[in-house]
Amino acid sequence: MTIESVFDPAFAPYGKVLEGYDTAALLETLQKVTPVPEGVEYVPSQPELEALPIAGQLSVNAYGGMPIQLGWCNGHNTKLNCLEYHRDSELNCGAQDFILLLAREDEMEGGMLDTAKVKAFRVPAGALVEVYATTLHYAPCSAASGAGFQVVVVLPRGTNGPKPDLTPLNGEDETLTACNKWLLAHPDSDEAKGGAKVGLRGENIDIANLL
């Protein structure tokens, strides 16, 4: 596996870098009010981030006026473990460089994805990246050995909230694990051991030896 940049042409099928936004105050606040745990922690909505002027800009400009939430995913990680997707794009912006492990929804076959399809992309600190709705993604990875990360996560409001009550009509319905969150777990992951539907086959990728 080669770690490419989100500024490389290879990133185009998965997302794009959004220009024109000043992320300085966003990342300053992120570093001030959020921890960097040894594992990975995700919080969907952080009031201090949502009170910043950029929150309104992202709602209007990036999401066309949709209500959004600004949360974070912080910690230390080098493994794939799972992939997820939403019905809308997700925006990420890190206080430190971080790496995204990504695949495309159209690469799935029979509800499964071969992890050999997964690509790695480095996101430099401060860059605001859109990850398309059709891009499979999960927790960020560290960009250097032992390094932590703090990443703002912007999504339509309610995403990753309580799972709605539903009667499954198809295989995809069985992967819905929260509001607007469809999850494919690797059989070796804690998520799979906790009951999440297995949707990944092949190696549970670990990029530790690439850092």
Answer yes or no: are the C-beta atoms of 137 and 183 closer than 8 Å: no
What is the mean pLDDT of each successive set of 10 residues along the chain, which is 211 residues long? 98 98 98 98 98 98 98 98 98 98 97 98 98 98 97 98 97 97 98 97 97 96
- Domain residues for the domain of 169 are 3-210
Question: What pLDDT score was predicted for residue 24?
Answer: 98
Question: What pLDDT score was predicted for residue 70?
Answer: 98
| CB neighbours of residue 133 within 10 Å | 14
Question: What pLDDT score was predicted for residue 148?
Answer: 98
Which CATH number fits the domain that encloses residue 114? 2.60.120.10
Pairing relation of β-strands 119-123 and 98-104?
Answer: antiparallel
**What is the residue-averaged pLDDT of the chain?**
98
Return the residue matching tokens 């949360």.
71
Question: How many independent structural domains does the chain possess?
Answer: 1
CA 193 – CA 187 distance, rounded (Å): 7
Does the pTM of the predicted model rise above 0.85?
Answer: yes
Residue 172: HSE in the Cβ half-sphere, 13 Å Cα cutoff: 10
